[in-house]
Amino acid sequence: MNAVINKDRLWESLMQLAEIGATPKGGVCRISLSDEDRRARDLFCTWARDAGCDIRIDAIGNIFARRPGNDAAAAPVVTGSHIDSQPLGGKFDGAYGVMAGLEVVRALNDAGIETAAPLEIVDWTDEEGARFAAGCIGSGVFSGHRDLNDALSLSDAEGTTVADALREIGYAGDIAPGSIPFKAYFEAHIEQGPVLEAAGLPIGTVIGAQGQRCFMVTLTGVDGHAGTLPMAKRQDTFVGTAKITVALSELAATYDPPAVITVGHVRVSPNSRNTIPGRTVFTIDSRHPDTDVLQRMEADITRICTDIAKADGLELQMDAVTRAEPVAFDPGCVDAVRTACRERQIRFMDIHSGAGHDACKIAAVAPTGMIFVPCEDGISHNELESARAEDLATGAQVLLDAMVKVAG
């Protein structure tokens, strides 16, 4: 007998989780290590324990819910994602992967199926980077991309460090990150793009993800009176930021295939109508599937920032917060996902991820694969993000079959 995903139970869990940090237009705001994140983590731990899992927390706050296998010494087959969100995010980005993992365990329990290797569901700390800028902090430390102490000392705009915030919400664990070897890792996620929906296909077998170069930039000029200082005498950092932003959006189109470059976070100081902003801090998020182009792009971005800052008499400080290389997922895991689809006559297509995921970090330390399901109009990082219960259940079924096959 095989285990069948319960579509309604999966949908119900997603809707209940989405009540934590619910926003007016139907999205969620569950900023990492906030009180909303704590409540969501607590709910996940309760549900996982109710499903017979043991819970462990590591030193960067990653949660590991283990379903025992009959070979306790075997390395686990793992799935997971993140339950932190963008400030105005959707109900499914990240949450789907954690709830799909929980549904896999629940469905196996219903069917009375025990695997040889243990199974684990992970909630990775701060995938989105909306509060501590870096992104993928939990999976990055676990996989050795980021030093634990560096990550713990990252601070938000108010000066609260990751270490403080973890202690405040009670998720400063005691396990050394990365000390649990994975037999394989699979992550289910909404595509966050339009490809699957346009192709009319329920599953994307993800073969890889593009790379990223992200920067935190500070322009320093001089505060001044908006009424009295002639334009030619100004050292206006927001004008400098605007010129850089337009130049970068034009730069993106000059690569083949085109890159994507976003200035998404801007903090103007003193942020007053009638004071010329003497300081502006902003982020640059640039992405491309080719490593050589990423290198060239970093040089071009640096040149543009340097030239404009100089021309406008502004001091430039530019720090790289993320350099993530393009990722190719494990062919064995990609095949396990394709086989799971074929065995259930589920149509699929190979797809490349434009978004970054925890799986992109875990791929460095364990055989890793991803399963995409469509989302409406490809909308994500938006309160209107939406997905069909049917597709979410299909993705969870493919996840279950792939995990059970690898776990034995």
Binding site for ligand HGY (CB under 6 A): 127-128, 135, 355-356
CA 115 – CA 197 distance, rounded (Å) = 34
Query: Quick one: what does residue 126 bind among Mn ion, ligand HGY, none, with the CB cut-off 5 to 8 Å set by partner type?
Result: none
Reported in sequence order, the residue ranges of 230-362 that DSSP labels E, i.e. its strands, are 260-262, 266-269, 275-276, 279-288, 315-324, 327-328, 348-353
Helix-then-strand count for the chain, H and E: 12, 16
Q: Which is nearer to ligand HGY, 115 or 380 (CB)?
A: 380
CB of 128 to ligand HGY, least distance (A): 5
Q: Which is nearer to ligand HGY, 51 or 360 (CB)?
A: 360
Please state whether 277 falls in left (phi above 0), alpha (psi between -120 and 50) or beta.
beta
Touching Mn ion, residues 107-166 (CB under 5 A): none
CB of 255 to ligand HGY, least distance (A): 18
Binding flag, residue 202, Mn ion (CB under 5 A): no
Q: Which is nearer to ligand HGY, 108 or 392 (CB)?
A: 392
DSSP string, 136-184: -HHHHHHTTSS-HHHHHT-B-TT--BHHHHHHHHT----BPTT-S--SE
Query: Quick one: what does residue 312 bind among ligand HGY, Mn ion, none, with the CB cut-off 5 to 8 Å set by partner type?
Result: none
Q: Which range in 91-99, 166-174, 240-248, 360-368 contacts Mn ion by CB under 5 A? A: 91-99
CB of 28 to Mn ion, least distance (A): 11
CB of 366 to ligand HGY, least distance (A): 20
Query: Quick one: what does residue 94 bind among Mn ion, ligand HGY, none, with the CB cut-off 5 to 8 Å set by partner type?
Result: Mn ion
Binding flag, residue 94, Mn ion (CB under 5 A): yes
Q: Which is nearer to Mn ion, 27 or 278 (CB)?
A: 27
Contacts 24+ apart (CB under 8 A), 231-239: 234/276, 235/276, 235/278, 235/312, 235/313, 235/314, 236/276, 236/277, 236/312, 237/268, 237/277, 237/278, 237/279, 237/280, 237/314, 238/266, 238/268, 238/277, 238/280, 239/312
CB of 356 to ligand HGY, least distance (A): 4
The correct pick among 58, 84, 93, 126 for binding Mn ion (CB under 5 A) is 93
Q: Which is nearer to ligand HGY, 202 or 356 (CB)?
A: 356
Q: Are 215 and 97 in contact (CB under 8 A)?
A: no
Instruction: State the residues that interact with Mn ion by CB under 5 A.
Output: 93-94
